[in-house]
Amino acid sequence: MNNQQLLDLIDKMTLEDKIAQLLQLAAPFYEGAEEEGQITGPMEAMGITESMITHSGSILGYAGAAGAIEVQNAHLRKNPHGIPLLFMADIVHGFKTIFPVPLAIGCSWDTDLAQKSAEVAAREAAVSGIHVTFAPMVDLVRDPRWGRVMESTGEDPYLNSLFAKAFVRGFQGEDLTAEVERVAACVKHFAAYGASEAGRDYNTVDLSERQLREYYLPAYKAALDEGCEMVMTSFNTIDGIPASGNQKLMRKLLREEWGFDGVLISDWGAVKELIPHGVAEDEREAAYRAITAGIDIEMMTACYVHELPELVRSGQVDEALVNESVLRILQLKNKLGLFDNPHRGANPEREAEVVYSREHRDAAYELAVRSTVLLKNDNILPLQKESSVALIGPFAQSGDILGPWSWSGSTENAVKLDAALRERLGREKLTVATGCGIEEGTQEQLDQALEIAKQADVIVLALGEASEMSGEAGCRTDIRLPQIQLNLIEQIAALGKPTTVVLFNGRPLDLHGVYDKVGAVVEAWYPGSEGGAAVADILIGAVNPSARLTMSFPYSVGQVPVYYNHFNTGRPQGAEDAQVRYVSQYLDAPNTPLLPFGYGLSYTTFQYESLTVSSEQMTSDSTLTVSVDVTNTGTVSGIETVQLYVRDISGEVVRPVRELKGFVKLELAPGESGKAVFTLNEEQLRYHHSDLSFKSDPGRFDIFVGGNSRDTLQHSFILS
């Protein structure tokens, strides 16, 4: 259809029909509506009528090709305008083939693999009947108490932006109309959901506009620059106004300033939540605020269908606002080709062929090995072939390694660590015990664990957080491992044997009681369907770990938020003339995190030398070339992620002590040297000034290059 045909269609619709297009309900409403004349419990409770469902625009969380075809057919039989439903769902890091959680994907520093993961997820979802995914989630995160940090790629705006683009490219491909095995992407949660106070979900966000623009907005913008079709609002307030009713954010910034003309959807229930937030008296005011802010689709509450008809008829809301929203929704349906083929990619044969295929699982494996971060290694790893291994812990045999956003994945089918190690080491070399549960355990479990530990040469402890301990509404104030697991470490460590802890979890943890107790620590995150295989290959050295943290591991929760690109303060710790007491520091802990952004070990070592900068001066139309020689000084080949950071020594407003500006991966054989070469230009030195203008300041800049954000070589130049 062309745009005029869509406008003609809208002309034929009643006001109620149009408003129903703005309603999004979860799958059970449609299954219930199948039985003619039956109004199910939730429908009644929400005040949803069958007519609203018949005219509704989209459905949430339905998957399965045959069923989706049936639901669409049933819908089209009833809908007098022949407008197909949009099927939307959260395909965050895989559909059935589950990839590592996004925070882990971030640690790969590999945007090609990230793109590939989204492409695979899109294919599986699309053939199962899904048209839109609620991803990527690109909220910048600094507070590991917040359970949703596992959905983000981390604390850096530049890296998050690269991943945002890669995910959008992977989900959407080049041409959504032609490629039916892709899905439209919906970037979320706009905006700054990751900055919730005290790391508590759904909590207040209060940032200066400069801070918002400088750190939090770039990744959403990057996703939109890549052509992302949809945006989802966040639950939080921004400068006192909840995002889902925030005109300044949505109409002014997103629509007018950024020119976004795609579909804007509220998060689940967020329109009605304007009432408890305290900016709407009732559903009518909530609907008014949301539609005037420009929210097109209301997810899972019914303020629009209940209240917009009267708001329009009374003249309080211009019908043009409703028409605009409907047009955007119809345009998306049209772009997805739904008017010509309402089933789009849904295809039971393709579903049987591609979903959870070997090829897809291989892609998940590849990303899992590239996302697993070696945090500590006192010559314990890789495991020696001849060693007998005791594998102990609640994650030794657990399939709960997919992470909280894997509703369609199967924990049963996930490759478990014990099975993978048994396959690689041989049955006779591996003994396995649970040791304890995630949060509780028995003396008997502990005794069994100690028994096999005593018999073995080396011990691997598979520990972590159950997936429901992170993710949405999975916030914690104590981000250590649960006490029972710390006890297990204590008891096992007392045996004095080479011990490795492998962590399965969704956030940077406070590693007290772990890092200081054992010789090696591996952060596996929630590695996904092939997790056990990936971790086993890292443990035995079949793959040399290369991942790097994209979120700092705090020394303790009391430091949080602790992140690498912070300001220096007027009284920085460690300055030459610093006083003993009156500096910015803690009395009982270091300022620095335990493990900084960019950090991660390898089974080899890399030496950096000869940092050179092509000139001491840069102008607005010249570029600098920065290069460094890196040598693999160990005995196995490895991949080094060489990172370039910059510091603006004197800005109009204070500038971070380091900012990532680029990275290069070098794969080096033992003894081999390589050169990492970066180019820097004036544009990369721009930032938001106090009047929000985006420009650079002349003056001195420091350059840092190294294998993480802390251990670097340094140089400087002048921007004139």
Indicate whether 90 belongs to the interface with ligand BGC (CB under 6 A).
yes
The residue count for the chain: 720
Give the residue from 573, 589, 596, 569 showing the smallest Cα distance to 655.
569
Which is nearer to ligand BGC, 99 or 553 (by Cβ)? 99
Which is nearer to ligand BGC, 243 or 594 (by Cβ)? 243
Parallel/antiparallel/unpaired status of strands 624-632 and 606-613: antiparallel
Indicate whether 298 belongs to the interface with ligand BGC (CB under 6 A).
no
Give the count of beta carbons closer than 10 Å to the beta carbon of residue 683.
Answer: 11
Which is nearer to ligand BGC, 90 or 640 (by Cβ)? 90
Q: Which residue has the tokens 């080479």?
A: 498
Please give, one letter per residue, the 3-state secondary structure of 150-166.
Answer: HHCCCCCHHHHHHHHHH
Q: Residue 193 Cβ, how far from ligand BGC at the closest point, in Å? A: 8
**Which token pair is 306?**
């209940």
Please give, one letter per residue, the 3-state secondary structure of 537-558.
Answer: HHHHCCCCCCCCCCCCECCCHH
> Which of 17, 110, 156, 267 is labelled catalytic?
267
Q: Residue 12 Cβ, how far from ligand BGC at the closest point, in Å? A: 31
* Number of shown-chain residues binding ligand BGC (CB under 6 A): 6
Residues 6 or more apart whose Cβ sits within 8 Å of residue 713: 608, 609, 611, 628, 704, 705, 706
**Which token pair is 97?**
């083939």
Give the count of beta carbons closer than 10 Å to the beta carbon of residue 607.
Answer: 12
Residues 6 or more apart whose Cβ sits within 8 Å of residue 581: none
The values of phi and psi at residue 419, to 5°, are: -65, -40
| Binds ligand BGC by CB under 6 A, chosen from 158, 268, 339, 515 | 268
| Binds ligand BGC by CB under 6 A, chosen from 206, 423, 472, 652 | 472
> Please, which of residues 4-23 interact with ligand BGC by CB under 6 A?
none
Q: Residue 472 Cβ, how far from ligand BGC at the closest point, in Å? A: 6
Q: Residue 188 Cβ, how far from ligand BGC at the closest point, in Å? A: 6
Indicate whether 267 belongs to the interface with ligand BGC (CB under 6 A).
yes
Q: Residue 473 Cβ, how far from ligand BGC at the closest point, in Å? A: 8
Which is nearer to ligand BGC, 104 or 299 (by Cβ)? 299
What character string, x for contact with ligand BGC (CB under 6 A) and - otherwise, covers 58-77? --------------------
Q: Active site includes 267?
A: yes
Q: Residue 104 Cβ, how far from ligand BGC at the closest point, in Å? A: 18
DSSP-derived 3-state class of residue 402: coil
Which is nearer to ligand BGC, 226 or 267 (by Cβ)? 267
> Please, which of residues 136-195 interact with ligand BGC by CB under 6 A?
188
Q: Residue 291 Cβ, how far from ligand BGC at the closest point, in Å? A: 20
Indicate whether 648 belongs to the interface with ligand BGC (CB under 6 A).
no
Tell me the helices (H) and strands (E) count for the chain, helix number first.
22, 26
Give the residue from 460, 464, 408, 421 showing the smallest Cα distance to 439.
464
What character string, x for contact with ligand BGC (CB under 6 A) and - otherwise, covers 119-138? ---------------x----
Which is nearer to ligand BGC, 90 or 366 (by Cβ)? 90
CB-based closest residue to ligand BGC: 134
For helices 283-293 and 319-335, what crossing angle results, to 10°?
Answer: 60
Which is nearer to ligand BGC, 90 or 307 (by Cβ)? 90
Q: Which residue has the tokens 């602790």?
A: 562
Give the count of beta carbons closer than 10 Å to the beta carbon of residue 657.
Answer: 17
Residues near ligand BGC (CB under 6 A): 90, 134, 188, 267-268, 472
List residues with catalytic annotation: 267
